[in-house]
Structure 1
Amino acid sequence: MNIDFEKSGGLVPAIVQDALTMQVLMLGYMNREALDKTIAEGKVTFFSRSKQRLWTKGEESGHFLFVDEILTDCDNDTILVKAFPQGPTCHTGSYSCFGNKLPKGFLYELENVIEQRIADKPENSYTSNLFSRGVNKVAQKVGEEAVELVIEAKDDNLVLFKNEAADLLYHFLILLKTKNLKLQDIEEVLVERHK
C-alpha cells in the first residue's frame, strides 16, 4: 500500500465498515505504525489523537474489529477497512458510531449466529438440535415452512405472513449450512443471473 501519510501530517482517516453488512461502523486515524500493526495482527489499530499513542479497538472492551480487507481511496490518503466486529463498535454500546439501526444485511449476522450455535452445541439449542438431525430433517422443515408461507399468503394477516417468511429464511440458512454453503454463495448466483 502506497499511502500518502505526509499529505496530512502523518495521519490519514481510516473508515471501518462491517465486512458483511457494509454498514459504516466508525472513523479513526492511522499513522504508518498503526497501519502496520493492523496488517500484522489482523485487528484494527488506530493512532489515538487524544492519548497520543497506538490504540487497538477493543483493547479494553474486548470488542475487536477483525480485518477482512484494507483498501485505499483514489488519492491514497484515506483507508477503508472492512472488518468483522466482535460486539458493539461504539463506546456507547451501539453497533455503529453512526447509530444503532439494524443493518440491512442482518441475514449475514443471523448466519453467523446459526454457525456459532452449531459449533458450540449449547444445551437446548433448537438450531443445533435441528442441524444434528441431518440434511433430510432440515430440508423437510424448510418444505413445511414454505407451505405455511404459501397458506398465509392467501390470507390478509400480514403479521402471520411476515412471521412465516422469517421462519422460512431462518430454516433456509440452516439448510445452507448442511450443504456447507453460505448466503453469499446464493447471492453470487443471483448477481451472475442479473448480468
Structure 2
Amino acid sequence: MTDVFSLDALAILIARRAGAEADQSYTRSLLDSGTARIAKKFGEEAFEAAIAAVERDRAGLKMEAADVLYHLLVLLQDGGVPLQDVVDELARRTQQSGHQEKASRGG
C-alpha cells in the first residue's frame, strides 16, 4: 500500500524538523530567522503563486502553491497554531454561506 501524503503529515514533519539543527534543516533555519522572515517568505511565495496564476502557468502555480502551503505551515508552527485549529475554523465558516460568514466578521 502506498503512503498518502497530507497537510497533516507535512505539519508533523515541520514540527519534527523544528527540533533539528539549523545546519541540517531549512525548517529550523527559517524558525531561527524569526517570525518576520518567515512571514516575508510566505508573502513572497504567495505573490509568486498569484503571478503564476495570472500568467496561466499551471506548472508554476503548482510549484508555488506547494511553497505557499509549506511556508504557511512553518508560520503556523512559529505562531504555535496547530493546523487542526485552522481546519476547525474553516469547518465553522462553512456552516454558512461565504457572504454570511464575511458579514459576521464585520466585512
TM-score by length of 2: 0.82
Counterpart Cα distance in 2 of 1:101 and 1:174: 23
1:191 aligns with 2:91: yes
1:35-114 mapped onto 2 (5 Å cutoff): 99-103=1-5, 106-114=6-14
Match of 1:175 among 70, 75, 98: 75
Q: Which runs of 5+ in 2 are unaligned?
A: 96-107
Q: Please name the residue that 1:118 is paired with.
A: 18
Write out the 4+ residue segments of structure 1 that deviate beyond 4 Å after TM superposition: none
Aligned pairs, how many? 95
CA distance in 1: counterparts of 2:85 and 2:3, whole angstroms: 26
Unaligned 5+ segments in structure 1 are 1-98
Residue 193 of structure 1 and its aligned partner are, at CA, apart by 1.1
Shift of 1:125: 1.4
User: How far off its partner does 1:101 sit?
Assistant: 4.7
Q: How does 1:96-175 map to 2 (within 5 A)?
A: 99-103=1-5, 106-121=6-21, 123-175=23-75
Q: Which has the higher contact order (CA 8 A, sep 6+)?
A: 2
Q: Structure 1 or 2: larger helix share?
A: 2
Which amino acid in structure 2 is aligned with residue 100 of structure 1?
A: T
Cα RMSD for the two superposed structures: 1.3
Partner amino acid for 1:185? D
Give the structure with the larger strand fraction: 1
Distance in 1 of aligned mates of 2:92 and 2:66 = 25
Q: Does the 8 Å contact 2:21/2:28 carry over to 1?
A: yes
Whose radius of gyration is greater, 1 or 2? 1
**Percent identity of equivalent pairs:** 36
